Amino acid sequence: MTAQRWQRCAGRIAALWDNYTAYQDVLNRAAEIRGRRAKPRPEDLAAIANLLRGKSITLSAKAVALSERTLLGPSVVSETATLAEALTLMNSDFQLAADFVTAADSAWNRLFQQADPVQERLKQVIAAIREIGDRTLATALSGVGDEYTKLRREVFADPIGVAAPGSHFSRRLARIREDLETVAATATGAADLRADFQRRSEQLLRLVDRIAEVEDAQRAAEAQVREKIQVAALPPRTAQAAALRARVAALADLRDRGLWRRLAEEAAALEQALDAAMTAANRTHRAVAGLLERREELRGRLAAYRVRAARSGAAEDPRLEAYYQAARDPLWSQPCDLAASTRALAVYQKAVLALDQPGRGGVVRP
């Protein structure tokens, strides 16, 4: 689009200068005639008037379109005009050129106002990756830089077209910016890891140690449950600590080989794996240890209702005592049947609560 507009303007600009030169020549000839004598002769005045008011200017030659030519007609014609007519034509040509320059300059400034920050950011990321020395990152960044260079060349070649409605400039620049920030984020993570590898690896190992502690607690809780609780099956134990510890140790090899991008990616993936492993280990431990906690909860509730029965004066009631023993025996046996204990406690609880109903008189009735 810029080239097309320039083609339309270029001939008019050349004609503008030709016509301007012819315009000056006429004025100079008129000034030369007037300067011959202090008092011009009538023929001098007539000549000056003809120059200033007549068709004294031969305008720039204009090509005749093929569709407008005759067989023997010229391909280029010249026209004559007065100074006023020439001035009007030059003003028109000047405005056409001015409009083109203004449009190109406006488009240029608007486009590069958006593109220049991306170029500055590109320089920053190049410096960061050069410091890291990661070839893979450098290759990825080179691809982003090539796309940006291509876009800038298009702006240089056709600013008006690139800035026109419907242009893909903004979308392409946004994609370049997004790709650049993706590479930059990886480079930043790699640089941070390089600067603080020891602290971060120690942090990861501490998390592995906590996972190992929870997994040890799982085994201990499972052993107690199998001894004290009657249970058909338990959740499978997690055992990820050893493998995770090996992955942490492997980070040092990536560091020694200078593979900082891979190191950053592996460290980030390892952090996610550690979080997931800790969540799974805690969930399994709670599920197993919760059985022991359930037994203690049932024991505590049984003791509380026995105190309540005593306060109601019915602690020695044979039937109530039988309900109590039916709940206590499975709770203090090994392995404990939690389901039977829960049902027996519910019967005893109902009987104790019935003591507070009007007319019961503290006696448990059948």
Least confident of 1-10, 260-269, 314-323, 347-356: 1-10
Overall average pLDDT of the 181-196 stretch: 83
- Residue 244 is predicted with a pLDDT of 95
Long-range contacts formed by 118-126: CB under 8 A, 24+ apart: 118/148, 118/173, 118/176, 118/177, 118/180, 119/148, 119/152, 121/177, 121/180, 121/184, 122/148, 122/180, 124/184, 125/180, 125/183, 125/184, 125/187
> pLDDT tens digits for 91-124?
888 888 888 888 888 887 888 889 999 999 999 9
Tell me the per-residue pLDDT of 12-70, one tens digit each, with 9 for 90 and over: 777 788 888 888 988 998 899 888 888 888 888 888 888 888 888 888 666 544 455 55
Stretch 196-216: mean pLDDT, rounded? 90
Write down the pLDDT at residue 60: 65
Q: What average pLDDT does the segment 330-347 reach?
A: 91
pLDDT, position 6: 72
Q: Is the pTM of this model over 0.75?
A: no
Amino acid letter for position 320: L
* Cβ within 8 Å of residue 95, ≥6 positions away: none
Contacts of 20 (CB under 8 A, 6+ apart): 90
Helices (H) and strands (E) in the chain, counts: 11, 4
Averaged pLDDT for residues 179-206:
85
Burial-class residue 122 by CB neighbours within 10 Å (0-12, 13-18, 19+).
buried
- Is the pLDDT at 214 greater than 90, yes or no? yes
Q: Which of 159-168, 264-273, 283-292 has the lowest mean pLDDT?
A: 159-168
8 A C-beta contact, residue 248 and residue 204: yes
Q: Is the pLDDT of residue 363 over 90?
A: no
Phi, then psi, of 58 in degrees rounded to 5: -90, 115
Per-residue confidence (pLDDT) for residue 120, from 0 to 100:
94
pLDDT digits (tens, 9 = 90+) for 147-184: 999 999 988 888 888 888 888 889 999 999 999 999 99
pLDDT at 136 over 90: no
Region 134-149: what's the mean pLDDT?
89
Amino acid letter, 201: S
Give residue 145's pLDDT band: very low, low, confident or very high (50, 70, 90): very high
Lowest mean pLDDT among 133-147, 187-201, 286-300, 335-349: 187-201
In this model, does residue 227 exceed pLDDT 80?
A: yes
